[in-house]
Amino acid sequence: MTFNTSTGTVRRYDMDALEQELLLLICKTCNLGDVDRAAVTAADPLIGPDSPLGIDSLDALEIAVTVQQEYGVRMNSENTSRVVLQSLGTLADYIRSNSSPPV
């Protein structure tokens, strides 16, 4: 986010194409039809009480499986999954770094 001191407004950073694609994929995978996707940013937490998506640990498992199927990227451990699934931004970065060919 950026804060404009002259107007006193906060502007959210726009998501890149992969982050937007992941948001749609997550909403579809977890049946999140009632989520206001325009209010979600790449830095918002994906899982837990602060998540605008309301994703829990079972949803996280579904996301990990779907990401592996769609992008050929595997999260090998629970610790890796926790780090990677912190936000759309961290998930997109992980996919870019670990997919072949690069996304």
pLDDT at 6 over 50: no
| Confidence at residue 5, expressed as pLDDT on a 0 to 100 scale | 44
33 within a domain of the structure (yes/no) = yes
Quickly state the pLDDT bin for 97 (edges 50, 70, 90).
very high
**Residue 63 burial (CB < 10 Å; 0-12/13-18/19+)?**
buried
- Number of independent structural domains in the chain: 1
> Percent of the chain beyond pLDDT 90?
65
- Quote the mean pLDDT of the chain: 86
Global pTM? Answer: 0.82
Q: How far apart are CA 40 and CA 70, in angstroms?
A: 22
Block residue for tokens 């039809």 = 33
Kindly report the CATH number assigned to the domain that includes residue 94: 1.10.1200.10
| 2 is a domain residue | no
Which pLDDT belongs to residue 99? 85
CA atoms within 13 A on the CB side of 11: 8
Span 48-82, pLDDT tens digits: 899 999 999 899 999 999 999 999 999 888 778 88
Domain that holds residue 20: 16-98
Residue 38 lies in a domain: yes
